[in-house]
Chain A
Amino acid sequence: MPNGGSNSAVAVWSVLRKECRTEWRTRYGLNAALLFAVASLTAVSFAAGRLGNRTDIMAALFWIVLLFATLASMSHAFVREVEARTMLLLRLVATPTEIAVGKLLFNLLFLLVIEAVTVPLFMVLMGAPPVRWGQFLAVLGLGTVSLAASSTLVGAVIAQTRGRGALFAGVSLPLLLPVLAAAVGGTREMWAANSVAPSLKLLGAYAVALLAASLLLYDHLWED
């Protein structure tokens, strides 16, 4: 297969483009996710008030908001295909791995959009102290990759179950706990002006491990 690599890349790219286009047509998933992120953010800021210098609590609340937004919305990339009965068609034109990688990239993009809204809003509403952006974005980026990788695999599994969306949060949580712990740790250290390197290493290693395992497992997702 001399052209195998580039063919796969084309397939992944088409899946990603198709995802973005269907999402953009209705913006249903995105609206729901944004609304949920803003709602949980509002709930958190109403419940906690202005935390001022308690950056440790702020770091925890920040990642809980992101985690909830992920758990609430990230299963829809695959669930949507099953509900619209388009999964079979999609599988005719691309291999399982190509589909899953395309969806993974879409999920990554989706999370970035949610974060682009949630992060500034959180900082303003919670009265967060100045952020060291380089370190913060590194923690956020690696955390996002892990969230997207886990959600893509679990989302694909959950779409084939009886309850579909209902189980997604519960089944995802064990996989996301290491991300939550390391990302909260990194964010806290960033605000405390300590080194974020240990948390970054952990987040990076976990993201790589999840991605590698996902790539091995995508092949087994569907079967006839």
Chain B
Amino acid sequence: MLWRILIFVWLSVWMVVALLFAPQVPVLHETTRVLYFHIPAAWIAVLALGWGMLHSVLYLVKRDLNHDDQAAAAAELGVLFTVVATVSGSLWAKRMWGSYWNWDPRETSIFFVLILYIAYLALRGSIEGDEKRARLSAIYSAIAFVAVPFLMFVVPRMYEGLHPDPIINNRGKVDMDPLIRICFFMMLIGFTALYFWLQTLRVRVTRLERRRELARGI
């Protein structure tokens, strides 16, 4: 309960500061503000992917269904945040680049992450039995874990990049207005807290559902 209020207040305050008081970047103008929403969402999309894969591997090692619940919740929330990042980025791209979709390396990568999540969830949906579902989807998640770094390496060679590097530029240092930077990192922290809160909620719901099914079985 306390967490919920804290996250709500935190995100609201920084959203207001980011939308009203943070300065604009010259070329980007008002579209600068997508930064506070889009990048944290994309970060969570990747974080959830890593979190899910970690728990999939842990499940294979320990055979504890809690790990599978974590992996499943991460995938579901991952879809949500990936869609948020993709849609907000796409709208921004329409304004700045003139089209919604350009197969820019990052667009391609996030698209890949999205189909990976969807394939994983489709696979989960087609397996009967908790243990079996957990085991087979963990195998898939683990093998997908091998594919991700390769794709991250392959993609930039295939497509030309348009995507800006506002956080870490070519000179390798943070190059932002101080207030933009503060807002951005505060939103990043807020989104991360939001994600982990949603994650625990989802896992708790899964556990309750399992208990209900067990009770029905008896």
Residues of A within 8 A of B (CB): 150, 153-154, 157-158, 160-163, 167, 170-171, 173-175, 177-178, 181-182, 185, 198, 202, 205-206, 209-210, 213-214, 216-217, 220-221, 223
Q: B146 contacts A220, CB within 8 Å?
A: no
For the complex, count residues of B whose C-beta is within 8 A of A. 31
Q: B128 contacts A162, CB within 8 Å?
A: yes
List the A residue with the shortest CB-CB distance to B61. A220
- Known A-B contacts A160-B127, A210-B146; the reply to A174 vs B122 at CB < 8 A is no
Q: B147 contacts A174, CB within 8 Å?
A: yes
Q: Contact flags (1/0) for B100-141 with A, using CB distance below 8 Å?
A: 000000000000100110110011001110011001101110
List the A residue with the shortest CB-CB distance to B120. A171
A contact face: mostly helix, strand, loop, or mixed: helix
Q: Which of B136, B139, B157 has the most CB of A within 10 A?
A: B139
Q: Which of B112, B116, B140, B150 has the most CB of A within 10 A?
A: B150
Q: Enumerate chain A residues within 8 angstroms of B138, measured Cβ to Cβ.
A: 220
Q: B60 contacts A220, CB within 8 Å?
A: yes
Q: A217 contacts B131, CB within 8 Å?
A: no
B158: contacting residue among A160, A181, A214, CB under 8 A: A181
20 contacts between A and B (CB under 8 A): A160-B127, A162-B126, A162-B128, A170-B118, A171-B140, A173-B115, A173-B119, A174-B112, A175-B143, A175-B144, A178-B150, A181-B151, A202-B150, A209-B146, A210-B143, A210-B146, A213-B145, A213-B146, A217-B60, A217-B143
A82 to B152, CA, bound (A): 36
**Chain A: minimal CB distance from B123 (Å):** 5
- Known A-B contacts A170-B119, A174-B115, A174-B116; the reply to A213 vs B143 at CB < 8 A is yes
A214 to B144, CA, bound (A): 11
- Known A-B contacts A174-B119, A181-B158; the reply to A167 vs B126 at CB < 8 A is yes
A214: contacting residue among B115, B135, B143, CB under 8 A: B143
Q: Check B142 for interface membership: any CB of A closer than 8 A.
A: yes
Q: A177 contacts B151, CB within 8 Å?
A: yes
A163 to B124, CA, bound (A): 11
- Known A-B contacts A174-B119, A175-B147, A210-B146; the reply to A154 vs B140 at CB < 8 A is yes
Q: Enumerate chain A residues within 8 angstroms of B3, measured Cβ to Cβ.
A: none
Q: Check B154 for interface membership: any CB of A closer than 8 A.
A: yes
**Chain A: minimal CB distance from B138 (Å):** 8
**Chain A: minimal CB distance from B7 (Å):** 32
Q: Enumerate chain A residues within 8 angstroms of B155, measured Cβ to Cβ.
A: 181
Q: Enumerate chain B residues within 8 angstroms of A214, measured Cβ to Cβ.
A: 143
Q: Enumerate chain B residues within 8 angstroms of A174, measured Cβ to Cβ.
A: 112, 115-116, 119, 144, 147
Q: B126 contacts A153, CB within 8 Å?
A: no
